[in-house]
Amino acid sequence: MTSLRNRLLLYLRRHERVKIGVLLAPTTFWVVAFTLLPILIVLYYSFLTSGLWGMVVHELTLDNYREIIDPLFFKLFLRSFLLAAVTVVLCLAAGYPLAYWIAFYGGRYKPFLVFLVILPFWSSYLVRLYAWMTILSDHGIINSGLQLIGLISEPIPLLHNEFAVVVGLTYTYLPMMTLPLYASLERLDRRLLDAAADLGAAPATQFARVTLPLTRGGIISGSVLVFVPAIGEFLVPDLLGGAKVMMIGKFITMKFVGLRDWPLGSAFSLLLMVLVLLVLVPYLRAGGSPKAFEEQL
């Protein structure tokens, strides 16, 4: 007598396609339920009409799409793009040495140091941003410190400008850059550096010709992981940018929350998604091609 379990296993073994289907089911469910479906809902909303008091009227229209061809939106997009790009560059500048140091000199403290990198995630994002507001304020530690040693007589405006936003974004997304960089540096075969030295490469040349190209995958994935959330970020510009700095994410939040115009907000969200994808396609191509993948191995 074969048990039900055995019969089932036998069936799966004989039917390769069913087996693949069963194995892929959880992932498929996840992607459909939590990625595809929400996007479809947003897409549907973007064709609806907004009613009074933030109500949504289930009446299909193209009005929202007429409205988003808005020069302000594209200006904001460009602004946000630049701020996100600066953030990526700063995260790279800070994250690469950090990841390099942990991977090469961390020794047995490596797991602990990596833990330190992700430690900020354990506390509330909001609290951390408020902390930055305190640090950057006119009476914050930086301004009072500089005043104390007599470098400045008046507080310099550190908060509620683009500088504050870039600081906040860089601080928030640094771990997203550091971790993939650490992974690729950790995987880098040290013997290749020995080989490069043996073939006449001084340390700087070793880095430029071996380390850097072989960690390209980490640089690309880190950059994407920082850029995508940074461009759509709304809390940082809201808290640290104040009224003066507008970013695309904050703009969309205002449509949803402030104006309670969900259909228009949905249309803007989709436009942002499309624009970000267009920007990232060449970048992802460079990092996601099979060749680049092989190089990482």
CB of 195 to another protein, least distance (A): 4
Q: How many CA atoms lie within 13 A of 121 on its CB side?
A: 10
CB of 202 to another protein, least distance (A): 5
d(CA 40, CA 27): 18
Question: Total number of residues binding another protein (CB under 8 A)?
Answer: 20
Measured from the CB atom, the residue of 83 and 193 that comes closer to another protein is 193
Pick the piece of the chain touching another protein (CB under 8 A) from 153-161, 162-170, 194-202, 245-253.
194-202
Cβ proximity of 158 and 164 under 8 Å:
yes
Beta-carbon contacts of 225 under 8 Å, excluding residues fewer than 6 positions away, are: 173, 176, 177, 180
Q: Is 9 in the site for another protein (CB under 8 A)?
A: no
150-189 mask for another protein (x: CB under 8 A)?
Answer: ---------------------------------------x
Measured from the CB atom, the residue of 16 and 198 that comes closer to another protein is 198
Measured from the CB atom, the residue of 70 and 194 that comes closer to another protein is 194
Measured CA to CA in angstroms, residue 82 lies from 146, 230, 238, 280 at distances of 29, 10, 17, 14
Q: Is 197 in the site for another protein (CB under 8 A)?
A: yes
CB of 8 to another protein, least distance (A): 40
- The token duo for 120 is 């900020």
Q: Is 194 in the site for another protein (CB under 8 A)?
A: yes
CB of 191 to another protein, least distance (A): 5
Q: Is 108 in the site for another protein (CB under 8 A)?
A: no
Q: Is 202 in the site for another protein (CB under 8 A)?
A: yes
Q: Is 294 in the site for another protein (CB under 8 A)?
A: yes
Measured from the CB atom, the residue of 196 and 239 that comes closer to another protein is 196
Q: Is 85 in the site for another protein (CB under 8 A)?
A: no
Q: Is 16 in the site for another protein (CB under 8 A)?
A: no
Measured from the CB atom, the residue of 215 and 269 that comes closer to another protein is 215
Measured from the CB atom, the residue of 269 and 296 that comes closer to another protein is 296
d(CA 287, CA 175): 19
d(CA 150, CA 143): 10
DSSP 21-79: HHHHHHHHHHHIIIIIHHHHHHHHHTTSEE-GGG-EE----SHHHHHH--HHHHHHHHH
d(CA 135, CA 148): 15
Residues between 213 and 232 with contacts to another protein, criterion CB under 8 A: 213-214
Measured from the CB atom, the residue of 44 and 293 that comes closer to another protein is 293
Choose which of 191, 243, 282, 290 interacts with another protein (CB under 8 A): 191
d(CA 245, CA 134): 18
- Degrees, nearest 5: CA angle 111-93-159: 105
Q: Is 93 helix (H, G, I), strand (E, B) or coil?
A: helix
Residues lying near another protein in the complex (CB under 8 A) are found at 189, 191-192, 194-202, 205, 209-210, 213-214, 294-295, 297
